[in-house]
Amino acid sequence: MVAPCIQDVSFSEKESSHVGKLCLQLNCNSDCIHVLRSMVAVMTARAGMDELRSNRVAIAVDELFANIATHAYGGKAGRVEMETCICNESDRGPVLIFDFRDFASVVWSGDIKAAANHEPDPANLTPGGLGLRLICKVSDHCEHESLEDGNHWRLIFNINDGEQNGCNA
């Protein structure tokens, strides 16, 4: 029997406002990608992002979730908490934030800046190894924190059309 995708959903007291916050607990499986894409569509619409920007947010969210499923949980079942909100009180101006928290025994200890700046060799391209670079290229900021019992990832997207900053630690 396949576990249900969504374990829990909660909404902040501002759920009907423009700056609402949405929270989910997901089972880490490929069926959940549809739920994540729906969350991206809702939040990018609330943020007033155009279709191109919304698609970039979806790419980064999809890739991060796939990385958690593949690398943190090794393709096995696992819990992921996802929270997304619009923050109008950022030093960057208004931003859309996606936080992911896994409880995997595999804790990532790499360097985000190094991954973001790694130039692939076109003559020797191989599958894998470019996901974090992609995430960093389409998000405005990417953060990682190693926890005692998992990982915390944060993706930040500027709402106003502006120059992307890439992954800054």
Of 56-60, 89-93, 134-138, the one with minimum mean pLDDT is 89-93
Nearest to 47 by CA among 98, 107, 99, 102: 98
Q: Average pLDDT of the chain?
A: 82
pTM over 0.85: no
Q: Which pLDDT belongs to residue 128?
A: 66
In this structure, are residues 98 and 128 in contact, taking their beta carbons and an 8 Å threshold?
Answer: no
Q: Where are the beta strands (DSSP E) in 61-137?
A: 79-87, 95-102
Q: How far apart are CA 140 and CA 96, in angstroms?
A: 10
Q: How many domains does the chain have?
A: 1
| Domain of residue 89, CATH code | 3.30.565.10
In this structure, is residue 123 part of a structural domain? Answer: no
> How many Cα atoms within 13 Å fall on the side-chain side of residue 116?
19
Please check whether residue 92 lies inside any domain of the structure.
yes
Asked if the structure places residue 164 within a domain, the reply is: no
Q: Which domain holds residue 26?
A: 6-118+130-158
Q: Confirm whether 100 is domain-assigned.
A: yes
